């Protein structure tokens, strides 16, 4: 299903609502009063020139940066600040521009870390779980096998069987990005934030990545927000596009609307 057909599907439920967010570091204002929303099940692109505040916006959404003003409503709950591990447990996963994988571990282990947020909380439960893991009997062993099976499906989906046991530090950049995507998927997120997932990839790799993103959205219903510079990808993949410039929103609409918007052309797209 192409994005065009996707768009005909009405996305009517708001998953994330961003309201009047402002973020500054010392004297630098990275985001100024930006408001937008993301519908459940859509693919939302965020574009704009470098330094526009796109990555900062993602960081605010998943709780890594805390905004000075504004609020965020996610799955009906409104808050301004949230610790990032809480955001993760509530179903927000993301990838990074500079690939934040655990370089000391293999591909398989990295993907398995994505499952760690499923671990039981509570001091007593955690102690019991640790003891069971140490002895590797019964529930601990079953749990490990289940996680392994789940992660192997992701490995199949992303076609990375060959590099299962390779320490990720040794992988080429394109494959690292794929593994990072896998780790995010392993978290079973409701909202997946991708920061330039195609950066540094050739045409073939971009095709693969696009396919994965579309399949995730189609088959698993994952809502996806992605920062992307390749306008071809943005036009093909996304349902709606948000345009930022110097920390402010300058356009918000379908890919067709946005690419025709004069402000956007002036600030970012240029004339083709």
What residue ranges bind another protein (CB under 8 A)?
A: 25, 59, 62, 64, 83-85, 87-89, 93-94, 96, 98, 100-105, 109, 112-117, 119, 121, 126, 129-130, 133-136, 140-141, 143-145, 147-149, 152, 183-184, 187
In angstroms, give the least distance from the CB of 199 to another protein. Answer: 15
Give the distance between the most distant pair of CA atoms in the chain. Answer: 65
Cα-Cα-Cα-Cα dihedral sign, residues 87, 67, 37, 266: negative
* Closest of 271, 96, 272 to residue 200, by C-alpha: 96
Q: Is residue 183 a contact partner of residue 143, using CB atoms and an 8 Å limit?
A: no
Output 138 or 270, the one with its CB closest to another protein: 138
Output 152 or 215, the one with its CB closest to another protein: 152
Q: Do β-strands 191-195 and 223-227 pair in parallel, antiparallel, or remain unpaired?
A: parallel
In angstroms, give the least distance from the CB of 250 to another protein. Answer: 25
In angstroms, give the least distance from the CB of 180 to another protein. Answer: 9
Output 1 or 162, the one with its CB closest to another protein: 162
In angstroms, give the least distance from the CB of 22 to another protein. Answer: 18
In angstroms, give the least distance from the CB of 118 to another protein. Answer: 8
Output 143 or 206, the one with its CB closest to another protein: 143
* Structure-block tokens of residue 214: 């579309």
Collapsing DSSP to helix, strand or coil, 192 comes out as: strand
Whole-angstrom distance, CA of residue 163 vs CA of residue 20: 44
Output 114 or 255, the one with its CB closest to another protein: 114
Output 186 or 216, the one with its CB closest to another protein: 186
H helices of 62-137, where? 84-89, 107-113, 123-135
Output 57 or 251, the one with its CB closest to another protein: 57
Whole-angstrom distance, CA of residue 93 vs CA of residue 63: 11
H helices of the chain, where? 3-8, 54-61, 84-89, 107-113, 123-135, 138-158, 173-186, 203-220, 231-237, 255-260, 262-264
In angstroms, give the least distance from the CB of 243 to another protein. Answer: 24
In angstroms, give the least distance from the CB of 164 to another protein. Answer: 10
In angstroms, give the least distance from the CB of 60 to another protein. Answer: 13
Buried b (16+ CB within 10 A) or exposed e, 234-256: bbebbbbbbbbbebebbbbebbe
Output 56 or 238, the one with its CB closest to another protein: 56
């Amino acid at each position: 299903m192409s994005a065009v057909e996707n768009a005909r599907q009405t996305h009517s439920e708001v998953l994330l609502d961003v309201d009047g967010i402002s973020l500054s570091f010392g004297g630098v204002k990275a985001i100024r009063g930006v408001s937008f929303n993301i519908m459940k099940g859509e693919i939302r692109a965020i574009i704009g020139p470098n330094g526009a505040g796109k990555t900062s916006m993602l960081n605010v959404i998943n709780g890594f940066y805390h905004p000075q003003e504004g609020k965020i409503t996610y799955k009906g709950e409104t808050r301004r600040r949230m610790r990032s591990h809480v955001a993760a447990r509530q179903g927000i996963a993301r990838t990074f521009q500079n690939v934040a994988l655990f370089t000391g571990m293999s591909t398989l282990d990295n993907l398995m870390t994505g499952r760690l947020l499923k671990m039981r909380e509570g001091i007593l439960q955690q102690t019991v779980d640790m003891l069971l893991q140490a002895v590797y009997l019964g529930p601990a062993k079953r749990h490990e096998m289940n996680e392994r099976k789940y992660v192997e499906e992701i490995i199949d989906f992303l076609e990375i069987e060959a590099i299962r046991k390779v320490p990720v530090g040794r992988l080429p950049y394109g494959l690292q990005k794929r593994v990072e995507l896998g780790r995010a998927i392993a978290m079973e997120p409701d909202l997946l934030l991708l920061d330039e997932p195609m950066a540094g990839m050739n045409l073939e790799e971009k095709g693969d990545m696009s396919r994965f993103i579309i399949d995730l959205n189609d088959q698993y219903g994952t809502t996806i927000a992605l920062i992307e510079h390749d306008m071809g990808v943005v036009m093909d993949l996304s349902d709606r596009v948000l345009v930022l410039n110097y920390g402010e929103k300058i356009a918000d609409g379908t890919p067709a609307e946005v690419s025709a918007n004069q402000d956007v052309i002036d600030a970012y797209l240029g004339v083709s």
